[in-house]
A and B are shown apart, each in its own frame.
Chain A
């Protein structure tokens, strides 16, 4: 499985944008970039995914580098409820491939 590299932890002030980076230099052409997050005492939840183009949804935006070797999850206005561990995962979307989690980035939101 292609691997991803994320910072262990990040802090951000409440109501400010947050940019969570992810490096995936060995990504293959068929790998999609998925982001999940895990709030305290909960199972992971899907945030967003993309292949080549930038993506937006109600939760976040995903910016993908032109060479696809890195990506950034953007939370436009962080709230205390966004405090979680964020996982960047490469996944082949053919079939229902397993999710391979790393250790993720623990995001702390400062009030």
Chain B
């Protein structure tokens, strides 16, 4: 089992550009959540996808959008990048509900905005 995988590992963009980050969930999982982790801070929840729909959303602007595909993989898109968007972006997958609700995290994508 490969676990949660994310691509790319690192990314450098300039202000105003757009970026797409990708996540493949752990085998058997169908729910994907995205988190942003600034340096020295804990991860902050962006949104969660289940059955190809956004189910929960954190306090992030509309510049942050996402998508989930029929194979449960997911993308995070960020438009009009700001310097403050520089962070580690983490993807987590899980079962949809019930007692087995632990989330499994990928290694993250390090985004640097110049």
Contacts and interface: CB of A to CB of B under 8 A. Distances in A.
A47 to B, nearest CB: 9
Nearest to A43: B105
Contacts of A85: 42
B7 to A, nearest CB: 14
Interface stretch (A21-29, A61-69, A70-78, A92-100): A92-100
Contacts, number: 60
Contacts of B48: 96, 98
Contact of A103 (B31, B41, B106, B107): B41
Interface stretch (B62-70, B76-84, B93-101): B93-101
B14 interface: no
Contacts of B103: 46, 99
A43 B33 contact: no
B87 interface: no
18 contacts: A34-B102, A41-B107, A42-B105, A42-B107, A43-B90, A43-B107, A43-B108, A44-B90, A46-B104, A49-B102, A96-B48, A96-B97, A98-B33, A99-B45, A99-B92, A101-B35, A103-B40, A103-B41
A7 interface: no
B43 A101 contact: yes
Interface of B: 4, 31, 33, 35, 40-45, 48, 50, 55-56, 58, 90, 92, 94-97, 99, 101-108
A93 B105 CA distance: 18
Interface size, A (range): 20 to 34
Contacts of B50: 96
A42 B108 CA distance: 7
Contact of A98 (B42, B45, B90): B45
A97 to B, nearest CB: 8
A87 B92 contact: no
Given A100-B45, A101-B44, A104-B42, A43 B31 contact: no
Interface string A79-111: 000000101000101111111111110000000
Nearest to B91: A43
A96 B31 contact: yes
